[in-house]
Amino acid sequence: MRFLTEEDVGTLLPLERAIDCVEHAFRDHAAGAAVDVPRVRTKTPMGTQHILQAASTSLDVIGFKAYFPGAERRLFQAQLAQLSTGIPLAFVEADELGIRRTAAATAVATRALSREDSATVACFGTGRHGLMQLRAVCAVRAITAVRIHGRDAGRLERFAAQAGDELGLPVTIASSAEQALAGADIVNIVTRADAPLFDGRLLSEGQHINAVGSNALNRREIDLQTIRRADVLVVDAVEVARNECGDLLPAVEAGLLQWHQVVELGQVLTGCRPGRSAPEQISLFESQGMGILDLYAAHHVYRAALELQAGALLPVRGHPARG
């Protein structure tokens, strides 16, 4: 078994490769070549452990990602085994991997759902995820301007400076959500908010929204009006959204949305269900996260490490099968 660190992941999983891995995962899931088990949480007063499991017949791999954001240390790990034999393959530190595969899902959705002439991005969320989300959108659309909005002036200024330097784009700090949204083509939202960040009536025709942070029942980034106005509503996986999407579940409870109306991104990519069909439509991508995204990204890291002889070998071989 090969052990790969966060530094290995940073080197072996550039964002462009993560985008390829994630699109492959979505397509395989739609085709029945990948199995995803929705996130399971072990909750205690001192913290929550999260586990996502998945398997792929096309890659011949099975595994899981487990993470525990503890009070003193954050533990993120992915483990892979060969599906056909059970041979242990890799133990991968998976914090950066999770950030990159989440951004890659946004990139895939943006490429599939946003208008091709999209040029301006409005960003809500200025943490590590927020910057990687912006990089992901810039990887698939010719972005020329960025607007950011939030509550912490210091974080906004740091985000604007870093994004401007790295991407070579003008980054404007908007004084209100309305100012951020006005004229934006793509809206990125990745926060830990527990209440909607803006009134859906502020949205304009033709916009595409990536809502990434609502992966628990106590998180909510968009309001019911946004869901009413979405002509195209796409999720990474309906089964996952039904379990934990704090944005969509209130709409279902209010009778504004039925689950059969919700489309999976893999279905759009494979042509099974329609995505955007007109430039004036508003499209919404709700991303909660899937184990297959971690699995495919971690598998790429493992294969790249084999080629470069990167990482360290662990004396973990498993036990012989019972004959």
Rg of the chain over Cα atoms, rounded to whole angstroms, equals 20
What does the mean pLDDT of the chain come to?
A: 96
Q: Quick one: average pLDDT of 188-208? A: 95
Q: How many CB atoms lie within 10 A of CB 284?
A: 26
**38-70 pLDDT tens trace:** 999 999 999 999 999 999 999 999 999 999 999
Q: The domain 114-286: what is its CATH number?
A: 3.40.50.720
**3-44 pLDDT tens trace:** 999 999 999 999 999 999 999 999 999 999 999 999 999 999
Strands 47-56 and 34-44: antiparallel
Kindly state the helix (H) or strand (E) to which residue 103 belongs, with its residue range.
helix 95-113
8 A C-beta contact, residue 220 and residue 249? no
Q: Quick one: average pLDDT of 67-90? A: 96
Q: Where are the beta strands (DSSP E) in 215-310?
A: 232-235, 263-264, 283-286
**130-145 pLDDT tens trace:** 999 999 999 999 999 9
Strands 186-189 and 208-211: parallel
Per-residue pLDDT, 218: 83
More confident residue, 273 or 317: 273
2-98+291-313: which CATH number, 3.30.1780.10, 2.30.130.30, 3.30.2390.10, 3.40.640.10? 3.30.1780.10
CA distances from 278 to 114, 118, 265, 267 (A): 10, 14, 18, 18
Looking at 81-85, 91-95, 216-220, 295-299, which range is the least confident one? 216-220
Query: Confidence band (pLDDT; 50, 70, 90) for 213?
Result: confident
User: Is residue 223 over pLDDT 80?
Assistant: yes
Question: pTM higher than 0.75 for the full model?
Answer: yes
**232-268 pLDDT tens trace:** 999 999 999 999 999 999 999 999 999 999 999 999 9
Per-residue pLDDT, 216: 82
Per-residue pLDDT, 191: 93
Delimit the domains of the chain by residue range.
Answer: 2-98+291-313, 114-286
- CA dihedral for 236, 240, 246, 249, sign (positive or negative): positive
